[in-house]
C-alpha cells in the first residue's frame, strides 16, 4: 500500500505492517486509551483452556468422562490433552464428589468383549480343525492305504526310530503323562483363580469337559475291516492320553498373562508332541488316533475362545503387541503348513509300498508319522496362540492403550462465529 492510499484520518483503524514484530503493548502515561485498545485488538485470543482450582477447563455438560471420549476431543493444545486426561481419571477439573470417572475405558465395547470378526474367525478355525480331525479319522479307518499306514507305523516305529529318540520317548509312560498333564491343568486353574478371572475359569472348565466328552466317542466311532493288520485292537480314536496332554497345555495358555503366552505355547508344543509320539512308540495308539485328538482339542479350544468376555481379556491400559507372540505364532503356522505338506508328500510316495507291506516303506512311514504329528501340534498351538492374543487384546478406539493418545486435530470455528 502506497502512502497516498493510506487513510488520512488519524482516528480510523491502525493498519500495522505485518513484517513488524508484534510486541506486547504498554500503556505509558500520556498514551491515548483508544490507541492502546487498537493495539490490543491486533492479538487474537488463543483457544487454550485455563485450568484453575475453582473453575473447570470445560463446561460440565461437555467434560469427557472416560478415555474413550478423548478420541472425540479436537484440539492441538497439549494443555487440552492434559485437562482431558485429568478429567478422565477424576483427579481434577472440579469433578463432583462421588462422580464415577473411568480411566480404563469401560464405555468402550471392546473393553467387555472382543471384536465380532475375531469371534467369527475363532468359530471358523475351530470348525475347520474339527472337520480335519474327522477327515484324518476317516482316512485312517475307511481306506486301505490309511489302515496299512497306521498298522505299519505302529509296528515299525520302535524298531526304526533313532536310539536317542527311542530312549526319550520311552519316558512317556502312562504315569508320567497323567502326572505332568494333571499338574498343568491344576496350574491353569490356580492361575485363573489368583487373577480372579472367574469367567475365564468357567471357560477352561467347560473346555475340559468338552475334551473329556470327545474321548467318549472312542467306542462309538466304527473301524471297519478292510485289510488284515498286525494290530488287531478295535476302535481307538481319539487318543485319551494325547487329549489330556494337549488340553492341559492349551488351558494353561488361555489363562496366563500376555508376557507368558509365547513361553507357555512353546512348552505346550513340546509336551504335546512328546506325548503324541510316545503313544505311537509304546503301541498304545495308531498315528491317526493321536492326530485326531490333537485336532479335536484345538478345534474345541478355538470355539471356546469365541465366548471370551472381559474376564478373559487384558485390562485396558496394558494392551500392547507382543513380539514373542508374533514370532512364535507366525513361525509355528508357517512351519506347520510346510511340514504338513512335506509329510503328506512322503505318505503319497510310499502308498504303493503300504498296500504290499514293503520293508522299504517302514522307515518312511515312521518319518512321515513323526513329521505330521509335529506339524499338527505346530498348527494347533500357532492358531490358538494367535487367536488368544487377538481376543484378549483387541484394538480399542484409542488404539493400543498403554500411553496417552496423540492430540487430535483442532476443531474449526464456524464461519459466522464472532471473535
Same domain, 275 and 356: yes
Under the banding of pLDDT at 50, 70 and 90, the label for residue 9 is: low
Under the banding of pLDDT at 50, 70 and 90, the label for residue 17 is: low
Q: Is residue 25 part of a domain?
A: no
Same domain, 100 and 242: no
Same domain, 62 and 128: no
Same domain, 207 and 92: no
Same domain, 325 and 278: yes
The arithmetic mean of pLDDT across residues 159-166, rounded, is 90
What per-residue confidence (pLDDT) applies to 321?
Answer: 78
All 3 cell numbers of residue 136? 484324518
| Residue from 372, 1, 384 nearest 153 by CA | 372
Q: Is residue 318 part of a domain?
A: yes
Q: Is residue 313 part of a domain?
A: yes
Same domain, 99 and 123: no
Same domain, 292 and 346: yes
Same domain, 202 and 345: yes
**pLDDT tens string 165-187:** 999 999 999 999 999 999 999 99
Q: Is residue 31 part of a domain?
A: no
Which is more confident, 317 or 150? 150
Same domain, 291 and 408: no
Is residue 79 pLDDT above 80, yes or no? no
**pLDDT tens string 346-364:** 999 999 998 888 888 999 9
The arithmetic mean of pLDDT across residues 382-393, rounded, is 94
Same domain, 96 and 161: no
Contact (Cβ atoms closer than 8 angstroms) between residue 274 and residue 167 = no
Same domain, 51 and 152: no
What is the length of the chain?
A: 419
**pLDDT tens string 361-371:** 999 999 999 99
Domain around 48: 44-108+404-412
Domain count, the chain: 2
Q: Is residue 7 part of a domain?
A: no
What per-residue confidence (pLDDT) applies to 56?
Answer: 47
Same domain, 212 and 341: yes
Q: Is residue 250 part of a domain?
A: yes
Q: Is residue 20 part of a domain?
A: no
Contact (Cβ atoms closer than 8 angstroms) between residue 252 and residue 182 = no
Q: Is residue 180 part of a domain?
A: yes
Amino acid at each position: 500500500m502506497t502512502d497516498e492510499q493510506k487513510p488520512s484520518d488519524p482516528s480510523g483503524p491502525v493498519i500495522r505492517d505485518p513484517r513488524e514484530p508484534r510486541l506486547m503493548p504498554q500503556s505509558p502515561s500520556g498514551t491515548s486509551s483508544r490507541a492502546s485498545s487498537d493495539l490490543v485488538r491486533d492479538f487474537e485470543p488463543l483457544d487454550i483452556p485455563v485450568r484453575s482450582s475453582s473453575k473447570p477447563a470445560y463446561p460440565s455438560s461437555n467434560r469427557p468422562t472416560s478415555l474413550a471420549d478423548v478420541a472425540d476431543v479436537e484440539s492441538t493444545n497439549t494443555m487440552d490433552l492434559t485437562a482431558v486426561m485429568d478429567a478422565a481419571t477424576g483427579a481434577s477439573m472440579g469433578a463432583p464428589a462421588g462422580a464415577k470417572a473411568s480411566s480404563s475405558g469401560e464405555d468402550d465395547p471392546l473393553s467387555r468383549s472382543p471384536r465380532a470378526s475375531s469371534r467369527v474367525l475363532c468359530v471358523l478355525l475351530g470348525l475347520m480343525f474339527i472337520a480335519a480331525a474327522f477327515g484324518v479319522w476317516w482316512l485312517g479307518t475307511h481306506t486301505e492305504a490309511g489302515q496299512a499306514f497306521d498298522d505299519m507305523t505302529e509296528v515299525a516305529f520302535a524298531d526304526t526310530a533313532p536310539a536317542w529318540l527311542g530312549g526319550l520317548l520311552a519316558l512317556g509312560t502312562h504315569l508320567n503323562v497323567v502326572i505332568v498333564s494333571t499338574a498343568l491343568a491344576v496350574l491353569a486353574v490356580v492361575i485363573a483363580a489368583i487373577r480372579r478371572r472367574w469367567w475365564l475359569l468357567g471357560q477352561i472348565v467347560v473346555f475340559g469337559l468338552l475334551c473329556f466328552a470327545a474321548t467318549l466317542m472312542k467306542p462309538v466311532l466304527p473301524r471297519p475291516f478292510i485289510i488284515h493288520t498286525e494290530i488287531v485292537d478295535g476302535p481307538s480314536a481319539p487318543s485319551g492320553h494325547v487329549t489330556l496332554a494337549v488340553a492341559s497345555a492349551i488351558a494353561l495358555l488361555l489363562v496366563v498373562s500376555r508376557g507368558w503366552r509365547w513361553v507357555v505355547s512353546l512348552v505346550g508344543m513340546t509336551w504335546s508332541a512328546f506325548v503324541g509320539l510316545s503313544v505311537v512308540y509304546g503301541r498304545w495308539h495308531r498315528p491317526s488316533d493321536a492326530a485326531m485328538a490333537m485336532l479335536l482339542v484345538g478345534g474345541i479350544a478355538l470355539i471356546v475362545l469365541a465366548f471370551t468376555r472381559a474376564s478373559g481379556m487384558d485390562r485396558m491400559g496394558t494392551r500392547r503387541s507382543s513380539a514373542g507372540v508374533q514370532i512364535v505364532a507366525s513361525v509355528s503356522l508357517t512351519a506347520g503348513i510346510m511340514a504338513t505338506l512335506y509329510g503328506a508328500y512322503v505318505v503319497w510316495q510310499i502308498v504303493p509300498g503300504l498296500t504290499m507291506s514293503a520293508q522299504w516303506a517302514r522307515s518312511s512311514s515312521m518319518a512321515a508319522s513323526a513329521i505330521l504329528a509335529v506339524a499338527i501340534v505346530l498348527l494347533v498351538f500357532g492358531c490358538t496362540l494367535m487367536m488368544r492374543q487377538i481376543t484378549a487384546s483387541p484394538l480399542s478406539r484409542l488404539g493400543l492403550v498403554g500411553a496417552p493418545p496423540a492430540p487430535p486435530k483442532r476443531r474449526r470455528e464456524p464461519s459466522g462465529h464472532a471473535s
